[in-house]
Amino acid sequence: MENLFRHVGQDQGFFQRKWTLVNGSVIIGAGPSGLATAACLREQGVPFVVLERAECIASLWQKRTYDRLKLHLPKQFCQFPKMSFPEDFPQYPTKRQFIEYLESYAKNFGINPKFNECVQLARYDKTSGFWRVKTVVTSGSNKTEFEYICRWLVVATGENAERVVPDIDGLDEFGGEIIHACDYKSGEKFQGKKVLVVGCGNSGMEVSLDLCNHNASPSMVVRSSVHVLPREIFGKSTYELAFLMLKWLPIWLVDKLLSGDISAVPEIKRFTRGQVELVNGEKIDIDLVVLATGYRSNVPCWLQEGEFFSKNGFPKAAFPNGWKGNGGLYAVGFTRRGLSGASSDAMNIAKDIGMAWKQETSSRLRGLLLAIDDAFHSSK
């Protein structure tokens, strides 16, 4: 595929500038969504380059998840196009198993991302009809600026590119350790500690359970009742049943389902030195705060485009129409429907780009044949 790209470089001391013409697609992000899209494009015969700011694929999974993490959905809802999970994997694969699956997936489809490339800017050039993507790679004191010029741009940075840290009164005065859930690995070192977990989504519940299993004393901040359903009932997955349930279950059921000594506390009013004050006036002594407060998209930071993406970094069009924009712009993994939604996006995107690729390739070939024919007759 290398011969399909044109490389031009210019050295200027410690700062180097290079640009690459990609005769196909640029995919930004080598997480699950980017890998699925790359594999589908490979099946369509479309050249691509995958750019990744980290030094590995699926950096969120490899570097910003806790050790006991498992897929929250059965594996049949999480596998990617053209490759199933190994048969000996459990119904809910572990973090390590999922990473192994991703690495095998990338190897199987010959996906070799360009690592440590942080996208600074991406904009559409209406005059040429191409996207221009600028990245920077830093190695020691040297910096290299790249510009990729491509016909199609696929945004695969996903919903969880940057951590969300809420502005809570007095948090900077707390004095104890404060970590985001993405930096939490295990509760082993927090044995005997009083921990406040802010957030009651999947991460908040998993962190609270892990802390409990390591003999810590977690208190989970819950602003409203929580919709809770076990993964399995009588050995059967509850994933499809969850979509049919419209009941909001009381918060006490959380403790019963997690089978641990986890306290549920109301919203935070403020932090003080070594304490948290709740909206009901109660004050709790705590040693550690875990912010399970989620993530956000970083697309608005680097993409110059205002029609397809909203200010919060998500496609404006609702599912299932949020995967295609104008001028060759696409988005994968923003459906809020997990890995199955990303797979659906990837297949749609690859099919759409594949059709355009074949049409443009045929048009170029016809033009080349006409030029050869004209040259042949002119020489007679």
User: What is the pLDDT confidence band of residue 337, given thresholds at 50, 70 and 90?
Assistant: confident
Q: Are 133 and 51 in contact (CB under 8 A)?
A: yes
Same domain as 82, residue 144: yes
Same domain as 134, residue 26: yes
For residue 58, which phi and psi values (nearest 5 degrees)?
50, 50
User: What is the pLDDT confidence band of residue 17, given thresholds at 50, 70 and 90?
Assistant: low
Is position 378 within any domain? no
User: Which run of H or E residues covers position 349?
Assistant: helix 338-378
Short-list 262, 252, 259, 260, CA closest to 228: 252
Q: What is the pLDDT of residues 200-250, one digit of tens each?
A: 887 888 888 889 889 999 999 987 655 444 555 445 554 444 443 434 443
Domain end among 251, 273, 291: 291
pLDDT of residue 364: 67
Same domain as 154, residue 30: yes
| Domain ranges, residue 29 | 2-161+297-373
Is position 380 within any domain? no
Same domain as 36, residue 118: yes
Is position 352 within any domain? yes
Same domain as 180, residue 134: no
Same domain as 228, residue 144: no
Is position 379 within any domain? no
Same domain as 128, residue 36: yes
Q: What is the pLDDT of residues 145-165, one digit of tens each?
A: 999 999 999 999 988 889 999
pLDDT of residue 206: 84
Is position 240 within any domain? yes
pLDDT of residue 257: 43
User: What is the pLDDT confidence band of residue 14, given thresholds at 50, 70 and 90?
Assistant: very low
Q: Are 22 and 148 in contact (CB under 8 A)?
A: yes
- Judged by average pLDDT, the poorest of 174-183, 221-230, 287-296 is 221-230
Same domain as 322, residue 284: no
Q: Are 212 and 218 in contact (CB under 8 A)?
A: yes
- With a cut of 70, say whether residue 289 has pLDDT above it: yes
Pick the more confident residue, 19 or 270. 270
Same domain as 127, residue 110: yes
User: Which run of H or E residues covers position 221?
Assistant: strand 217-221
Same domain as 233, residue 308: no
Measured CA to CA, the distance from residue 40 to residue 36 in angstroms comes to: 6
SS3 content of the chain, % helix, strand, coil (to 5): 30, 30, 40
Averaged pLDDT of the chain: 84
pLDDT of residue 15: 47
pLDDT of residue 160: 87
For residue 313, which phi and psi values (nearest 5 degrees)?
85, 20
Q: In 29-115, at which residue ranges do the beta strands (DSSP E only) sit?
A: 48-51
pLDDT of residue 377: 52
Which positions ≥6 away from 309 have C-beta within 8 Å?
155, 299, 300, 303, 315, 316, 325, 331
Cis previous bond, 320, omega within 30 = yes
Mean pLDDT of 366-380: 56
CATH number of the domain enclosing 280: 3.50.50.60
User: What is the pLDDT confidence band of residue 138, given thresholds at 50, 70 and 90?
Assistant: confident
- With a cut of 50, say whether residue 2 has pLDDT above it: no
pLDDT of residue 222: 83
Taking the whole predicted model, whether its pTM rises above 0.75 is answered as yes
Q: What SS3 state is found at 119?
A: strand
Domain end among 259, 291, 323: 291
CA end-to-end span of the chain: 37
> How many domains, in total, are found in the chain?
2
CB atoms within 10 A of CB 126: 8
Domain end among 256, 291, 326: 291
pLDDT of residue 366: 59
Q: What is the pLDDT of residues 293-329, one digit of tens each?
A: 999 999 999 999 878 999 889 899 877 788 999 999 9
